Structure 1
Amino acid sequence: MRKILKIMLISISTIITVMVVFLATVYFVNLVSNEREKGKLEDYGQKVMVDGKQMNVLIQGDGKETIVLLPGYGTASPVLDFKPLVKELSPYYRVVVIEPFGYGLSDDTDKVRTSQNYVDEIHKCLQKLNIKKYTLMGHSISGIYGLEYVNQYEKEVQAFVGIDSSVPRQETDELPVSSLQLLNQSGLYRLLLKVNPDQLVMPKVDDQTKAQIKMLTFRNFLDESQGSEADNFRNNFKNAQRLHFPKKLPVVFYLADQTEKETPSWKPMHEDLLKNVDHGKVVTFKGGHYLHHTRSKEIAADFKGFLSEIESNR
């Protein structure tokens, strides 16, 4: 019996030792990788001072009309993520991609991520850039922030475009923020992506751009801003339920058929937001949630037609 117990204790000690060594190795590899990657990140866009911090912005194209692009939640690099869509829009419009605090190359912030704070910061950024009239085009969670935005700055926004955008009454899940942050800090998130790189959603871009997206993913993953944003999901969605799109604001939603299959109420909820709008429509494209990765040409072409139709009816 003593011999069996001794063997068991040795086995348990060995397993614990191996686990500790493994976790320590993963942690230090991640630490070293993070430091190395800081020097490999390539700068893009321009910095705009907002509330004492730097917000990164890319402006491309010199069209008479301006489109402001806002990202979905957790997008590592909005500029690189929107690259296919910017390519299709910039020959006809001035396209402005804003990277909110905690995203892309923008600074992080400890200011609570309420919709109000988010909207205030984006507006201050546009004011600094002297951009007075524009179409707001947002992916996913930006549907919630966009709804808040257009109600506050109705005179500035010329149209709103949602790319599989969130709606106030959709179901929202709470993210285990602390656990996911620990996963990243421990290095296990890096290991998981190494084992299964397909977990990382990217547009069809060159390998160098993919490498930059990957490095920014590790840098920004659930940083303070994104952690606070996740903690405020429910309040932000609930507060948005009081809002409606202004009657005279043109609104178009581009929805993914995969999302509609997963959530049968997806299209009806978007249609409900348009019931009091003079110029509004819903268009469904085949594809997943990141339509701007796969349907950029179709989105750009339909949007041009949508604006032309509105102009001809005025």
Structure 2
Amino acid sequence: MQKSRDNRKISRRLLYAIIILIVGQAIYHNIMLKVESIRIEPLGKMVVVNGHDMHVYSEGKRGKPTLVFLSGSGTAAPIYDFKAIYSKFSIDYRTAVVERSGYGYSETSGLSRDLDKVLEETRKALSLAGEEAPYILVPHSMSGIESLYWAQKYPDEVKGIIGLDMSVPEAADNIRVLPIANSVMKMARLIGLQRVPFIYPVEYIGLTPLEMDQARYLTNRNAFNIDMRNETSAMLKNFDRIEYNMIKEVPILNFVSSDEESREEISEFSELVKCRLIYLEAGHYVHQFEADTIYREGKTFIESLAQRQ
């Protein structure tokens, strides 16, 4: 009996300690958000779209083919995630990184993340930033679906697609969005779990110390926000918007990671459209690990697009 009471006491103390730790972490996180907010300094142009600010960062000479980089879901600081790759392409081409609502330096909107709304915001942000179609889209991961839909809906605006382990409609078969996902992400944001390095690592390549600080501030501010949560909720519905007969002539070059599931999905997709695959022995963020290969092969692909005109 005494041993049972002792065990209950230990359990209660452990529970109290966990609660205190969580509350302390949440308080610290929210204090630091205010401190870090005054250190956040956008590098590109801020434009107003649907009542909220969106950030577009561009490099390279105008008059050259324009590559538009679109980040994957949950990538909290896109311009820093993409730096290793766009800095290579901007030597020869015009490059633009569009940070969706809730990403990078852009504000959160709280609006639906329906594919039409996301695409129209991207197009409007580019236009307001002074960029002009047609574009060569460079999507990573989930933004592959936005890029395919863009080519489907506005074919004259898309010259081709260079995919960075981009998602394809076949991926929907292997995605399970749990009913509690939104609530879990909301709680994680409230207590600041993104500050735990192994939960939301900030491991971008080729950044200066100041850029790395900015990437961390943006990750702390953006991770698990409402726009990311709404994206998760809309994900499967957005996958269903792609019509193969509308995109079968779009030139696509896709760099595929070493993930076996990803390779199987993209292989099925490539048989239905005009898509060339290059397999890389690299993780999902292929542009972080194989920037030289992507630049070299991407440049050849862009030159082939010019020959098709």
Q: Normalising by structure 1, what TM-score?
A: 0.88
Whole-Å separation in 2 of the counterparts to 1:57 and 1:182: 30
Whole-Å separation in 2 of the counterparts to 1:310 and 1:105: 32
Q: CA deviation at 1:197?
A: 7.3
Which residue of 265, 289, 297 maps to 2:284?
Answer: 289
Q: CA deviation at 1:44?
A: 1.1
Secondary structure of 2:277 counterpart: strand
Give the equivalent residue in structure 1 for 2:186.
181
Secondary structure of 1:111 counterpart: coil
Which residue of 206, 212, 219 maps to 2:221?
Answer: 219
Secondary structure of 1:239 counterpart: coil
Whole-Å separation in 2 of the counterparts to 1:222 and 1:198: 10
Give the equivalent residue in structure 2 for 1:298.
293
Whole-Å separation in 1 of the counterparts to 2:162 and 2:8: 63
Whole-Å separation in 2 of the counterparts to 1:303 and 1:268: 19
Q: Normalising by structure 2, what TM-score?
A: 0.89
Q: CA deviation at 1:287?
A: 0.9
Q: Are the aligned partners of 1:49 and 1:55 in contact in 2 as well (CA < 8 Å)?
A: yes
Unaligned runs of 5+ in 1: none
Whole-Å separation in 2 of the counterparts to 1:80 and 1:105: 11
Q: CA deviation at 1:233?
A: 1.0
Q: Are the aligned partners of 2:170 and 2:269 in contact in 1 as well (CA < 8 Å)?
A: no
Q: Which moved more, 1:3-12 or 1:92-101?
A: 3-12
Whole-Å separation in 2 of the counterparts to 1:198 and 1:113: 22
RMSD: 2.3
Q: Structure 1, residues 62-113: CA drift from partner, whole Å, max 9, x if none?
A: 0521111111111111111110111110011110110011100101112110
Which residue of 230, 233, 242 maps to 1:231?
Answer: 233
Structure 1 residues 1-314: aligned runs within 5 Å: 7=6, 10-63=9-62, 64-128=64-128, 129-170=130-171, 171-174=174-177, 176-190=181-195, 192-193=196-197, 196=198, 199-240=201-242, 242-244=243-245, 246-256=247-257, 258-259=258-259, 261-274=260-273, 277=274, 280-312=275-307
Whole-Å separation in 2 of the counterparts to 1:213 and 1:161: 24
Q: Structure 1, residues 174-197: CA drift from partner, whole Å, max 9, x if none?
A: 15121122022123442x32xx37
Q: Structure 1, residues 156-208: CA drift from partner, whole Å, max 9, x if none?
A: 21111211000101121215121122022123442x32xx3784442342333
| Percent identity (aligned) | 25
Q: Which moved more, 1:300-309 or 1:222-231?
A: 300-309
Q: Which has more radius of gyration?
A: 1
Secondary structure of 1:254 counterpart: strand
Secondary structure of 1:87 counterpart: helix
Whole-Å separation in 2 of the counterparts to 1:43 and 1:90: 19
Q: 1:306 to 1:179 in 2, by over 3 A?
A: same
Q: CA deviation at 1:263?
A: 4.2
Q: Are the aligned partners of 1:68 and 1:97 in contact in 2 as well (CA < 8 Å)?
A: yes
Q: 1:28 to 1:291 in 2, by over 3 A?
A: same
Aligned AA (2:55): N
